[in-house]
Chains A and B, each alone.
Chain A
């Protein structure tokens, strides 16, 4: 039997549940996105004389706002849905919903950002501007070809790595929860 002081110590520990991990990840992503927004706004103001950098920063700002909205929406959904004193069936369904939505959002976020960054980096390197603000092409066609090839390979590699990582981090857990829910719903 544990005494009251020992029980009190437990209350100040860290939880290990997957939903808490997801919430922590979401909070981190939101904080990072907000920080990035501030940085991006500074970029827009500072690079008012360089058209491409300004355009690049505005596009990033739009994407950042878009994902910030979805990250916050998911965090709110978890805070409303996550209640451990509901029935086991309800709880399992909530867990499955939360993890599935997080998995989807994480994958979309990664897969949208990778090609976007590659294209932006390519254009930024491809176009060079002089002191007067005129643009000129700075890559040879061979460099463009190599860069494009490497980018496609990188996107494919990241597609599989991201899928593998999400499956390893959350997918196996999700499979088990789905199996448990099926077990519970089976009538005999």
Chain B
């Protein structure tokens, strides 16, 4: 079991994960802050169960996504901001047009909480097998869902681009 100091030091190195999840699921600074604290508290409480079978980052993703998906503190239409987009590492803004990036971010923001989690893990280069483990479904199911999400994102970002 990690001591409080070790836990904080480890989280400090992986806090980018928490920022990404908070930015993906919450639209205002205050809500992101609340979710950040909730994830951190849950991770700390659950750290005694971390046996080191998986990487700490994978475990933290799992805790963060579980917390974010069931976190219904404030009911609002989720909109991803530019600030949050930069931390999801979709593309390097210098490579793609800002408009396309914004359209893609808006499209991602419209996805369901479950689809967002799958997209986030996919963008983090997790294999379908790993995504399946974190989500608790089969790798085939992840592949099917990912194909559907790609189609939705393509259509939705096109729509946002033309607006």
Contact = CB atoms under 8 A, between A and B. Distances in A.
Contacts of B148: 188
Contacts, number: 108
Interface string B44-60: 11100110000000010
A88 B37 CA distance: 19
Give the interface size bracket for B toward A: 35 or more
B70 A91 contact: yes
Contact of A15 (B12, B42, B50, B62): B42
Interface stretch (A2-10, A41-49, A156-164): A2-10
A187 B141 CA distance: 5
Interface residues of A, number: 33
Given A15-B41, A88-B136, A180-B69, A188 B46 contact: no
A184 B38 contact: no
A89 to B, nearest CB: 3
A8 B45 CA distance: 13
Chain B interface helix/strand/loop/mixed: helix
B133 interface: yes
B136 A84 contact: no
Interface string A57-94: 00000000000000000000000000111111111100
Chain A interface helix/strand/loop/mixed: helix
24 contacts: A1-B15, A7-B8, A7-B40, A11-B40, A13-B41, A83-B46, A84-B43, A85-B63, A85-B66, A86-B66, A87-B133, A88-B62, A88-B69, A88-B135, A91-B66, A92-B70, A95-B70, A177-B70, A180-B70, A183-B115, A184-B137, A185-B137, A187-B141, A188-B144
